[in-house]
Chains A and B, each alone.
Chain A
């Protein structure tokens, strides 16, 4: 590009657009590698026929509604509100519930409405780092609360809130995935959920509850979402159709305090999430069809989890620690001191298996002896083979030490 000598295009950009980060790229893995890295959905259970039928139906019934200019389909908002009500989130209304292009859109819009450069945001460590990056891009200072076997350490959170307050720092929000957390798979117990919501009210801090995996409950009791426990309006609840329909459709939803949702809507500049897609998703999900599909998925995912656990038991050194997740996509492992993740990853590359290093889930460089394994995507045989290869890599690291 040639730039007029007298005028630089760069001078036209707004202050916050002057510098922008380069976007990330997807990891390259060698041919024949079994990747347990990404939380992809099971490719064998995408509801193809249901989506084709839903498309044909919505176009036959109301082609103008589906294909002309129009809002997000109100029927999808209603369906989502009904689902939230069924889970006890009684505060959800069509006015304070919105549809978005994936939860990543909400997670990127939230910092726009809540974060000015230098503001503090509290996240779990480890957590879904994609969300943290969008907070950081808005200039947030990230404080990390550790995740234990039962989710976020609420004592540590309280200490942190107290400490921040004593330093006159008012954090904007707490980002948490209390249900089958990414990456740890942990489930926050009811008592901790109640304490977390009470702390938010006490300190005047919003909670951003990411419920991406909430419907993927294989076993155990369903716990109320933070949004269901919140009577004072401190919880922004984000959930997605990515895990229960398909990530490629990019449909998610969000409910929360009216003042917050109104502002997120203002910043969702393209307005509607598309009459066609929102009608298609509604039709796919309506009349109990989504719940039927979810039960199929949960049978599949618990089977795959069990295949992975059995293989881990067989192949991993016995001092690799992990919890058994009751839902979600991941098993998280804590490696012994002589098995740093970097060395295991290098060896795993030779053995043609890949995973997500724990450090990729922390904003603060922790997680040097942790790894995340996704059982969601690969088929049973690949899970077994991948874990066998990874076990061999671990043993090799130890042998070389």
Chain B
């Protein structure tokens, strides 16, 4: 959205913060121009074929039959959904103090509040490269200076992080927080090993920097792994954990949570403009999870997305040139690819769209213009036949671009 910096006769009425946003430019890169016929593998939408429509309808009916006044009237925050989240965190070994937990309208709400409570223009934030740039956009919009740490095959490069922190310290710069997606990272799908997690949290505590652990994909593992939530590690008092129902229930419900240090949670609550999330939607989500339903649904999702991931990886092996490197995800929504020099992602995507498929060029995951030869391919949304067709088309586009170059 572009704002006319000239607020007309209101200009002098706007607060300084509102005047500032009018002059901001976005760090987000233009998204591919898909057509309605394009098989889009660009976006990390959830698979609509596995949305729990029946469970939602039945739960709305059950909930309203049970206690309509408490659900529909003005009420303080209901503790039931907090208890659901608490239990889920405890099963992962986190010792939870419920007063440090809050429910939000999507994790984007937490990501949007973070710069409000941490960032003055010129402050430094550390992010992964590539990362979920939607989050970084919030930080950059608040005037944060963004430091990018590379992501390798096992997630964020912790030695590079240590060097960055040391360098910043030498320059008397104390970064405000480190934004990381350690589990099935967006966009690379990488899983940060337990040792690296421990080192990251220890570094955060040593340098006095908050870690923001975005755990959007944590429940969607295709096989068991032993990478713990950063909340369970020594130094966890420096960790703010963000989780969401978007991937395990439905994004359109907009329900997420944050757990972190009391001082941070107190400020997140104060800055969450509409205060508590509504009783209707929070009670609905807690009602849906009853009797083990959510656990059963999550195991269904795991096998569903695992099968789609496998189908995509197989199609890639068959249709992509051998010098395109891709990782094999152990969870999450994405396959990430590294392209050879003669296959830059943006022109490749234009050709792919002409062939009827699209992906997300790597540049959309970097705040610093990197990623020209990288690609994110989402297996989450499309049906398996479409995934295979889409990969076939992208493979054809790769060969076409290569033929044009030679």
Contact = CB atoms under 8 A, between A and B. Distances in A.
Interface of A: 1-4, 6-17, 20-21, 23, 25-26, 38-41, 43, 46, 48, 51-52, 55-56, 59-60, 63-70, 100-102, 104-105, 108-109, 111-116, 119, 134, 137-138, 170, 172-173, 204-206, 233, 242, 246-250, 257, 259-260, 262-263, 265-277, 377
Contact of A51 (B16, B60, B263): B60
Interface stretch (B192-200, B219-227, B251-259, B356-364): B251-259
A52 B64 contact: yes
A275 B46 CA distance: 14
A274 B252 contact: yes
Nearest to B176: A12
Interface in B45-63: 45-46, 48, 51, 53, 56-57, 60-61
15 contacts: A13-B263, A14-B120, A20-B271, A43-B69, A52-B60, A67-B46, A67-B56, A67-B250, A67-B252, A68-B51, A68-B381, A104-B274, A263-B7, A269-B138, A274-B254
A2 B12 CA distance: 45
B9 interface: yes
A380 B57 CA distance: 33
B72 A276 contact: no
B278 A66 contact: no
A269 B74 contact: no
Contact of B108 (A51, A109, A270): A270
A246 B73 contact: yes
Interface residues of B, number: 88
A102 B18 contact: no
Contacts, number: 259
B263 to A, nearest CB: 5
Given A259-B8, A274-B105, A13 B252 contact: no
B266 interface: yes
Contacts of A233: 9
A231 to B, nearest CB: 14
Contacts of A104: 273-275
A21 B270 contact: yes
A377 to B, nearest CB: 8
Nearest to A103: B274
Contact of B1 (A113, A119, A266): A266
A14 B275 CA distance: 20
Interface string B1-18: 101100111101111111
Contact of A276 (B205, B252, B264): B252
Contacts of A64: 45, 48, 51
A204 B254 CA distance: 38
Nearest to B54: A59
A56 B68 CA distance: 18
A51 B252 contact: no
B254 A276 contact: yes
A41 B73 CA distance: 6
B53 A59 contact: yes
A68 B10 contact: no
Contact of A246 (B210, B280, B381): B280
